[in-house]
Amino acid sequence: MDIPIPTRSTGRGQVVLQPSYFTSSIYIKALREDITALVHNFHEQYKEDNTEPFTLFKKLWNAQGWKWMHFKVFDSRTRETFLNVTARLFLERMVKTEAPFTRTVALFALYTFYNTQPTGSAPALHSLSHIPIPIGMLSDQYTSLIGLPSMLTSPYLAPLQPFAAYLVSALVSAQAFHLLPSSELGALTPRELPREIYVEEGLIDSNQPQRKGHNSKRDKVIKARTALDLVGRWLEQTAPPSDAGTATAKQYKAHKARLLAEIGGESAAVGSASQGVVQRLQEAQEAQETQGDGSGSGWGMGRVAAAAAGGGLLRLV
C-alpha cells in the first residue's frame, strides 16, 4: 500500500497518520485489492485441500502478512477510523450480490480481524468493541450475514458450512455487531468510501477521480455558469433601446426605396431578372420533389411569384 506524507501531532511531536488516510482512495483501493487477492489465493488452495477450511485460511492469513494489520497505527483517534473502515470493507464483500464462496472468505477475514485485536498492551490500544452493520429493506447486510450458512449447500461449498455457522454464531453471541439503519439513509460514517480521492495534484473531496490535465465535472459546471453570467451582464450593458427594432425597419425601407428609385424598380431588366429567379427556384423545387424525400416542401413559391409579378423580387420584404 502507498504511504502518504505523514503529519506531526501537536502533543508529543510524534509522527502519526491522519484519519483521512484510511477513508481516502489510497487505503480503500489498496485494501479492496488485497481482499480480492485473499479470496483468490484461498480459492486456489481450497481446490487442492478442503478438509480443514478455516485452518487453511489462518495459514494463508499469516503468510500474506494480515496478522500485522493491527500494528499499522497506534494513535487512538486514527486507529478508530482504521478499524471501522477495515471491518466495513470486509462486510461489503458479504452482500447477496457476491458469490457464496467470496462471502464466506470475507466472514473468515472479519472474524479473524475482530478477534485478533491486541489486548493487555501498555498503554492500551483502542479496540473495536462493536462492528457497525446496516440493516434495512434494500441493503440488509446483517440478515445476509445470518443467512450465509444456509447458502453453502452445494457439494463444493458444503465443507465451509459448519465453519461459517460457528463463526456467525460466535459473533452474534459475543454481541459484536452494532445494528444501524439501512445504508441508503446515510447511517455509516463516512457515507461513501472512499471519501477523499487522491490524485497527483493532491486530495479532492469528490467521489470521481480527476485525471491530470482534465477539468472535473464540477469545474466545468462552475466555468459554464461563470461564462453565462458574464454574457448576461454584457447583454444588459449593451442592450439596444426598446424601439430599436422599429427604427431599423424604417431605415431598411428607406434604403430599399432609394435603391429601387436609382435602378428603376419598374424597368424591364428588373422584371426579367425576377422571372428568371422564380423559374430557377421552381425547377429546384420540382427536382427535390421528384426525389421523394420531402425536402422540397416549404419553399413559399406562391409568395415569390406574387412578388415577381408585382414589380420584382426587390419589393419582397
pLDDT tens digits, residue range 201-222? 545 555 555 555 666 767 777 7
**Are both 191 and 260 inside the same structural domain?**
no
pLDDT at 32: 95
Any domain includes 183: yes
Compute, in degrees rounded to 10, the torsion defined by CA atoms 189, 192, 193, 199.
-120
- The domain of 269 spans 247-315
**Are both 11 and 92 inside the same structural domain?**
yes
96, 144 Cβ separation under 8 angstroms: yes
Q: CB within 8 A of 313, min separation 6: which ones? A: 273, 274, 277, 278, 304, 307
Any domain includes 135: yes
**Are both 146 and 255 inside the same structural domain?**
no
161, 153 Cβ separation under 8 angstroms: yes
Any domain includes 208: no
pLDDT at 42: 97
Greater confidence, 302 or 113?
A: 113
**Are both 259 and 173 inside the same structural domain?**
no
* pLDDT tens-place string over residues 22-52: 999 999 999 999 999 999 999 999 999 999 9
For residue 200, pLDDT beyond 80: no
Angle between the N-to-C axes of helices 25-48 and 100-115, in degrees from 0 to 180, rounded to the nearest 10? 110
For residue 293, pLDDT beyond 60: no
Mean pLDDT of the chain: 80
**Are both 155 and 269 inside the same structural domain?**
no
Name the pLDDT band for 9 (thresholds 50, 70, 90): very low
Any domain includes 202: no
For residue 86, pLDDT beyond 70: yes
Any domain includes 132: yes
**Are both 104 and 185 inside the same structural domain?**
yes
139, 132 Cβ separation under 8 angstroms: no
Any domain includes 214: no
Any domain includes 238: no
For residue 117, pLDDT beyond 50: yes
Q: State which of 156, 174, 195 marks the end of a domain.
A: 195
**Are both 55 and 147 inside the same structural domain?**
yes
| Number of domains comprising the chain | 2
Is residue 202 classed as helix, strand or coil in its secondary structure? Answer: strand
- pTM value? 0.60
**Are both 270 and 172 inside the same structural domain?**
no
Any domain includes 305: yes
**Are both 188 and 307 inside the same structural domain?**
no
**Are both 179 and 44 inside the same structural domain?**
yes
- Distance, in Å, from the CA atom of 144 to the CA atom of 149, rounded to the nearest integer, reads 10
Name the pLDDT band for 137 (thresholds 50, 70, 90): low
Query: Position of cell 481516502?
Result: 24
